[in-house]
Structure 1
Amino acid sequence: MTTAVFIDGAAGTTGLEIADRLAGRSEFALITLDEARRKDDAARAEAINDADVVILCLPDDASRDAVAMIRNESTRVIDASTAHRVAEGWTYGFPEIVGREIVAESKRVSNPGCYPTGFIALLAPLVHNGLLPAAWPYSCNAVSGYSGGGKALIARFEDDRDIAWRSYGLTFGHKHVAEMQRYCGVAIAPMFSPAVIPAHRGMVVEIPLPLGVMPGNVPADLLRAALTQFYAGSPVVTVAQDLPSGGEMLLRASMEPWDGLTLHVMASADGEQARLVAVLDNLGKGASGAAVQTLNLMAGLDETAGLRL
């Protein structure tokens, strides 16, 4: 059975990468609009209602408007925006965390944010299993390639090669924090410190842990073992068992599209401190790859079909 898919916002970075992953796949038939019609609301509404699954690659308000255009009970939605990530009636599209069956059976799925993907992948299993406390002021330090910031930010970095590092979210209240807190089940909103570097893609997300003063003082080896067990058998998420080669972690500007996620647990010699680190592609498991993984599950297919792993 062929699944009809409409990507609303197909001209943006996320939409283009989703279409690239679906190219040549006979399981899906893409509904497309030409340049003259892709911003025409009537044409979009027709395409949305003709689709078995619509993937929204739009700003938040536009995503809400697109959902309101649905006039039938059959069209299913994958929303890559922030609009519905903590909304009632929506499934959070992180199958490794919420369950593959739940995602597969859902009509409304919200794609996780790129930074939250790394944060939640590291922390949620450990908090939910009681190895790390829910009532703790966690912090998250992260860097990403500039492609996740939309066309304006991409243009800034590509036009001004003198930008070496861009810190943002300095006024707090970043839109990712709500999903980070909810899906990790933590009582205190995490301190989130995101930054952008002059690379098109790639992302590193880190959670520092002062284990020596945390309740339970759980050893880092036990944290790593718990994550390894939690993601055992996952074709997408890998838990590293050793330190990175050379004792350093690199993001390369030449990174190719990648839909995997690698997690690291590193500790000081005395066991008093640890660093939980996630490495991913902000356009892969952090956006387009995650949407395609969810689409595969919703269509009853192998979740890795079309992914770059």
Structure 2
Amino acid sequence: MTSTVFIDGEAGTTGLQIRERLEGRGDLKVVSVDPAKRKDPDARAELLNGVDAVILCLPDAASKEAVGMITSNSVRVIDASTAYRTASGWTYGFPEMAPDQRAAIAGSKRVSNPGCYPTGFIALTRPLVEEGVIPADWPITVNAVSGYSGGGKGLIEEFEGPAPEGTSDAFRTYGLTLQHKHVPEMQLYGGFDHPPLFAPSVGRYAQGMIVEVPIQLWALPSKPKPEDLRDALASAYRREAFVEVASDEETKALQKARAGAGGFNAQLDPEALNGTNKMKLYVFGNPETGQARLVALLDNLGKGASGAAVQNLNLMLGLPEASGL
């Protein structure tokens, strides 16, 4: 049986990538609004209520409007905005987050796709909080850099456009009000009592990201070693196809990798997993100083957006989880 899917906002960055991942699949049919009726709310409402699944790739307010138009009890909805990520009645769409999360997603009719930064942060920290390695009340910090595609069409045009409208910035930090919209889901699903201190940034490249959590091991109550953190993460994701924890051997090889006289580590590239639904986790540690850097590498438009949406769609429709990925 072929399931029907409507991508509301299919012309946006995430919507385009979702459609590309769904093209050519025999188990799904992607339907669109007739171009002649694109501005007809009745035509849109008909599609929102007449398909098996809807994926919303819209700004928060528009997503809420679309959800309000859905009156059918059978339509399954995946929302890619931040509108419902911590909302009651919605399931958080990170299948690898907990042992029962896949079943929760599969049985839900309302799933909120995770943010790209939170995907990396939660993957790195939640298992450590659950194992008691990091206390829930710990003052946690997360630093991250993403490609400019994460900012949507406006930021893409700014970085790719000509002067004077465009920008020549090589790197830009933001979220300086410490009120970034991703923080609530980081705190909730990371298992923390207090909001993480989140320092996001954007670089002059299109997509891919690195999310990093620095840890002062010596200050933690249990005084863990770097290998304790790595073992906890490896245990949490040992059966996962899309989340991998770098081995001790690979990590040490990266730490020893040198590029020129400056001694820069050369092989941790934020674009390395672009075009995939994969995420790779690293624990770089120094036992002598009692410090560690937890690092997540992923595609902000893959596992951080479109790939996650397709993975959730597969689970909700009872299809093989890795289809299209």
The answer to whether the superposition gives a TM-score over 0.5 is yes
In structure 1, what is the equivalent of residue 147 of structure 2?
145
Secondary structure at the residue paired with 1:224?
A: helix
Q: What are the equivalent positions in structure 2 for 1:1-309 lying under 5 Å apart? A: 1-98=1-98, 99-159=101-161, 160=166, 162-241=168-247, 242-243=250-251, 245=254, 246=257, 247-251=265-269, 256-270=274-288, 272-307=290-325
Q: Which moved more, 1:138-147 or 1:31-40?
A: 31-40
Confirm or deny: 8 A CA contact 1:56 1:78 kept in the other structure: yes
TM-score, structure 1 as length reference: 0.96
Deviation at 1:201, TM superposition (A): 0.5
Shift of 1:218: 1.3
- Deviation, 1:196, is 0.5
| Aligned 8 A contact 1:201 1:255 in 2 | no
SS class of match (2:293): strand
Letter in 2 for 1:22: L
Bigger Rg, structure 1 or 2: 2
How far 1:184 moved relative to its partner? Answer: 1.0
Q: Give aligned-pair identity as a percent.
A: 55
1:196–1:237 Cα change, 3 Å? same
Give the Cα separation in 2 of the matches to 1:252 and 1:95.
Answer: 23
Query: How far did residue 38 of structure 1 move?
Result: 3.3
Give the 3 Å change call, closer, same or farther, for CA 215–252 of structure 1 in structure 2: closer
| SS of equivalent residue, structure 2 residue 37 | coil
Contact 1:219–1:271 (Cα < 8 Å) also in 2: no
- State whether residues 205 and 278 of structure 1, in contact with CA within 8 Å, keep that contact through their aligned partners in structure 2: yes
Q: Match of 2:262? A: none
TM superposition shift of 1:161:
5.8
- Deviation for aligned residue 1:163: 1.4
The letter of the residue matching 2:203 is I
SS at the partner of 2:124? helix
Paired letter, 1:7? I
Matched residue of 1:232: which SS? coil
Which ranges in structure 1 are unaligned for 5 or more consecutive residues?
Answer: none
For the residues of structure 2 that align with 1:272 and 1:40, how far apart are their CA atoms?
A: 61
1:116-169 deviations in Å (ceiling 9; x for gaps):
000000001110121211111100000000111011100000013621011111
Once residues 102 and 155 of structure 2 are traced to their aligned partners in structure 1, the CA distance between those partners, rounded to angstroms, is 34
Change (3 A) 1:253 1:183: closer
Contact preservation (8 Å) 2:226, 2:287: no
TM-score (norm 2): 0.91
* Distance apart, 1:214 and its partner CA: 1.6
The unaligned stretches of length 5 or more in structure 2 are: 258-264
Distance 1:68 1:23 in 2: 28
Task: Find the residue that maps to 2:15 and give its secondary structure.
Answer: helix
Contact 1:8/1:55 (<8 A) preserved: yes
Distance 2:179 2:75 in 1: 33
Shift of 1:228: 0.6
Between stretches 266-275 and 240-249, larger displacement belongs to 240-249
- Count of paired positions: 307
Distance 1:152 1:278 in 2: 26
Structure 2 letter corresponding to 1:89: G
